[in-house]
Structure 1
């Protein structure tokens, strides 16, 4: 069995911004969320899911008010808590290529970098209306490009989950708790309603930021049906609860 560990890097207070996560719900409501990388350990395989973002980036690149941003730890500190260094990571699975998920990707020179081909194609020449991409973040990098669902190790694989972005992928991990899925679309647990995974008619709310609403819903349903538990990739709970499984 594998394990999932949250590596929180920054805490953000979104003033009146909840609807950026919960489409057409939560207007005018505050939302606390985090920037993360996720450490997945499957035997001798040390896998990082997403390459994070920083508090400094939030302030100086995206213009967030400094009093709404809190630095939590560096990526090195987060990995050191598990006895690891940057060079100990053998694979980085990128759920998508928005800037807040790839800030540190250039630091993993020796690691295999796995991304959906459709995501890389769009991110390399994004439409100007989508300001969450910056091609300079991925310039000069070599990627393992895949198409669709793929098993990565014995207990880890990816699900193709577009909608939030053209080529998003979520990461399933077989753990002692069951199959956990780290979402490849930006969400909080409220997106999945108040129920545990399993009901035939789930209470799903798609991400407020999306390129295709219908695909986003279908992808959420795919995650719901695959998971025993969902790891919502921006939920603030993991800032304190680092051990996911």
Structure 2
């Protein structure tokens, strides 16, 4: 169960090598989180992340999880929940893709969509059901401002995040009143390995800043978190810009 300050004592991360997720785990472990499951494809990076959290005092475990293997999600995630209640699930897996390449290679574009959206639908529904059976817990979904309005430069990635965002909001409505809290996190450009080499967008942020926003949102039981917060106003304005004008904007 969460402690009196709303800090989860157990955490499941789907996407166990995500820089944002690991920054969040570090913050929570320095508070009261004691059990951390890192779910992802087996790799030295996954093992290294678990070892770091153990050095910080957490009981960190790894579990093999592939967003693209939806048929295995029920079994894999069921085993995690069978080990004990999970106070917080952080869905942090996703790929950016390469827009220029993916437009000419539809199967590559489909892989982006399947990873970011359909994989999340499968895992999200399974985790939501398990949390509801517990009667408590938070499901935190890493979305993106890219999903607010598709841009020419990354509409494949943006559309996959738009689908994820809409799914998570609807899931939150479906779970309202059950004791399960769903929080959608919408970061802007995050300086990370995934964005290395890309031109930095205005108001760029860091994994640590997103982690702080997640922790604050959990404490407040927020339903939507923007990082940085000013993006809420900016994206609200951009959503209503006429398309002929929007096409000419340097966004």
Question: Smaller-chain TM-score range?
Answer: 0.3 to 0.5
Q: Could you tell me the TM-score, scaled by structure 1's length?
A: 0.36
Which one has the bigger helix percentage? Answer: 2
Q: Which has the larger Rg?
A: 2
TM-score normalised over the length of structure 2? 0.35
